[in-house]
Amino acid sequence: MTARSPEAPVLLRAVSAFLQSLIREEAAGGRDWEARIARNCVELVCRELALRPVHEPAQRQRLQTLLGSSETDLSTLDAQLCKALHAGEIHWSNPELSAHLRATTIEQLRIDNPRYLRLSGVTAPHEASGDSGKEAS
Amino acid sequence: MGDAGQERAADELIDKIEKAWSRQHQSRLQVTQLRRLSAGASADSFHLSATIDGGQDVEMVLQLFASARQFPGALGKVAQGHVARLAAASGITTPEVLLFTGPGDGLPEGFATRFQRGETVGRRIVTAEALAPARAQLTAQCARELAAIHALPVADFDMLHPFGARAQLDLLAGLHRDYGQPIPVFELAIQWLKAHLPGEYPEVVVHGDFRVGNLIVDDGGLVAVLDWEMAHIGDPMEDLAWLCIRPWRFGRLDLAMGGIGTRQALYEAYAQCGESQVDAARLRFWEVLGTLKWGVICQWFLHDTLASAQPSLERLAIGRRVSEVELDLLEVIEGHDCQIP
């Protein structure tokens, strides 16, 4: 199926801009807070559409290596990792585990809340050059 | 409900409140104004202006239990009111309880406290320029208040149950696993906590939710401690740790104590009150547990709203805050958080 114009990100950005205008207009009104949450959610979905396809292959590969598994479904791999932690097959202090979880958490925060990453002063090793300016909070 | 319907409901509520007052006091209450403050997850709250026997003015905050679903371990409204009343009578800086409500009054379980003026919104307490003098006082004031709470006679608080480290960890691990969305960082935290369970500790009255956001603050600093819903008998270090976890720093991640002060300043002021020894290992345990607890509460908010006919956008958004908590857990467990003990 070819993507019809306007594509999803274009539509979402327009919705986000509309919600932004509500925030300004109703700054003194009662629904400002909800409009702000709605705007943030739409921005989050935009980031997810752009970044998930970038993050997922790397996450899958790290999990497969860590678990010695050929499973491809990410939720199943996460569940397997939890089980291995619970059973003590992978120790909580394992450095490869720690590196994977840190990288995955940073990738997820680039979608969920890039502002929190900046506030925390945390960057992934491969992002050390810094591209924080690209993401509007 | 139309405006007329809302007005009628407000009149009925006022009538019931006035009758409840008469049953509990040798005086007559006349409510002159009723304003809804919020419809929270577990309580509806109202601001009331009233006169007593046609003379003395009184302002109150009424909280009515609004939902059968509360985070496990939370006290019911009546028990919460009794704890607050006893704490206030013992000299703790918490608003005086003036009225209890219940089915006998045709009302949900609830209680009303004396209204106290001041700022409660965490972000404003941490950032407002006008509150800079308050912030200079607040760390020491919180330490003194916590020491006073931890010195309360446990035997008087028979409505509170022991809720120790092991029981809290089991509850959180069980809740998390029941959601069926296993989060590896949460599982790592559970295993870390199992390996670091504290040994013996003194059993004291623990407030359970003492943090910026549950305090009333004015120019002079601490006005009152609110919200005794999570009170229990436990380790005094739990309260000191909860006050310092990363989710309550409102953008000032460099200042562990609620975005206002350092851990060191809090611990020193607390130790000066001489109630309990500060124990770095137990503090660390409780900071990790507290952070995990906030993460599980985020999941709980999400699953609660997903189960309702019309999920709330705010609650759905809270579901995505779990990744902040994951970073918080890694930072504390790996020792990267600011001035970690």
Residues B41 and B127 in one domain: no
Asked whether the predicted pLDDT for residue A24 surpasses 80, the reply is no
Asked whether the predicted pLDDT for residue B98 surpasses 60, the reply is yes
Its domain, for residue A71, covers 8-125
What mean pLDDT is predicted for residues B178-206? 96
Span A57-81, pLDDT tens digits: 999 999 999 999 999 999 999 999 9
Residues B42 and B138 in one domain: no
Comparing A123 with B33, which gets the higher pLDDT?
B33
| Within-domain flag for B339 | no
CA–CA gap between residue A119 and residue B126 (Å, rounded):
15
Asked whether the predicted pLDDT for residue B162 surpasses 90, the reply is yes
What mean pLDDT is predicted for residues A111-125? 87
Testing the interface with B: which of A47, A104, A120, A122 to mutate, by most B Cβ within 10 A?
Answer: A120
Residues B261 and B316 in one domain: yes
| Within-domain flag for B264 | yes
pLDDT score at A126: 52
pLDDT score at B248: 95
| Within-domain flag for B71 | yes
* CATH number, domain with residue B54: 3.30.200
Its domain, for residue B187, covers 122-333
| Average model confidence (pLDDT) across chain B | 93
pLDDT score at A30: 60
- From B325, which residue of chain A is nearest by alpha-carbon distance? A105
Conformation bin of residue B206: beta by default, left when phi > 0, alpha when psi is -120 to 50: beta
A27-31, A130-134, B40-44, B145-149, range with the lowest pLDDT? A130-134
B150: exposed, middle or buried (Cβ count in 10 Å: 0-12, 13-18, 19+): buried
Asked whether the predicted pLDDT for residue A130 surpasses 70, the reply is no
Asked whether the predicted pLDDT for residue A48 surpasses 70, the reply is yes
Total domains in the fold of chain A: 1
pLDDT score at A78: 97
Confidence band of B340 (pLDDT split at 50, 70, 90): confident
Span B263-311, pLDDT tens digits: 999 999 999 998 677 999 999 999 999 999 999 999 999 998 999 888 9
Domain endpoint, select from B86, B114, B142: B114
pLDDT score at B108: 92
Task: List the one residue out of B95, B97, B58 whose CA is nearest residue B78.
Answer: B97
pLDDT score at A129: 42
Strands laid side by side in the B97-101 sheet: B29-39, B43-52, B56-65, B110-114, B97-101
Query: Is B174 near chain A, with CB under 8 Å?
Result: no
Residues B182 and B82 in one domain: no
Q: In this prediction, what percent of chain B has a pLDDT beyond 70?
A: 97
Q: In this prediction, what percent of chain B has a pLDDT beyond 90?
A: 85
- Largest Cα separation within chain B, whole Å, is 62
- From A34, which residue of chain B is nearest by alpha-carbon distance? B314
* CATH number, domain with residue B165: 3.90.1200.10
| Within-domain flag for B338 | no
Total domains in the fold of chain B: 2
| Within-domain flag for A118 | yes
Strands B110-114 and B56-65: antiparallel
| Within-domain flag for B340 | no
* Top-ranked range on mean pLDDT: pick from A3-7, A17-21, A127-131, B109-113: B109-113
Comparing B71 with B147, which gets the higher pLDDT?
B147
What mean pLDDT is predicted for residues B16-42? 88
A vs B, Cβ pairs < 8 A, gives 78
CA–CA gap between residue B338 and residue B286 (Å, rounded):
16
Report CB contact under 8 Å: B320, A44: yes
- From B330, which residue of chain A is nearest by alpha-carbon distance? A102
Nearest to B330 among A85, A105, A111 (CB): A105
Nearest to A85 among B187, B251, B321 (CB): B187
Asked whether the predicted pLDDT for residue B169 surpasses 70, the reply is yes
What mean pLDDT is predicted for residues A75-88? 96
Span B202-254, pLDDT tens digits: 999 999 999 999 999 999 999 999 999 999 999 999 999 999 999 999 999 99
pLDDT score at B199: 92
CB-CB contact of B292 with B261 (8 Å): no
pLDDT score at B68: 58
pLDDT score at A128: 44
CA–CA gap between residue B120 and residue B112 (Å, rounded):
17
Nearest to A78 among B182, B320, B331 (CB): B182
| Average model confidence (pLDDT) across chain A | 87
- From B246, which residue of chain A is nearest by alpha-carbon distance? A120
Residues B127 and B108 in one domain: no
CB-CB contact of B219 with B230 (8 Å): no
pLDDT score at A134: 38
Residues B110 and B186 in one domain: no
What mean pLDDT is predicted for residues B110-139? 96
Query: Is B9 near chain A, with CB under 8 Å?
Result: no
b/e A77-112 (16+ beta carbons within 10 angstroms → b): bbbbbbebbbeeebebeeeebeebbbbbbbbbbbbb
pLDDT score at B160: 97
Residues B45 and B159 in one domain: no
Confidence band of B2 (pLDDT split at 50, 70, 90): low
Confidence band of B339 (pLDDT split at 50, 70, 90): confident
Nearest to B334 among A44, A98, A116 (CB): A98
Span B220-231, pLDDT tens digits: 999 999 999 999
| Within-domain flag for A2 | no
What is the interface pTM, i.e. ipTM, of the complex? 0.89
Report CB contact under 8 Å: B327, A119: no
Strands B97-101 and B204-206: unpaired
A20-34, A40-54, B184-198, range with the lowest pLDDT? A20-34
pLDDT score at A29: 56
Confidence band of A46 (pLDDT split at 50, 70, 90): very high
What mean pLDDT is predicted for residues B27-33? 96
Asked whether the predicted pLDDT for residue B1 surpasses 70, the reply is no
| Within-domain flag for A37 | yes
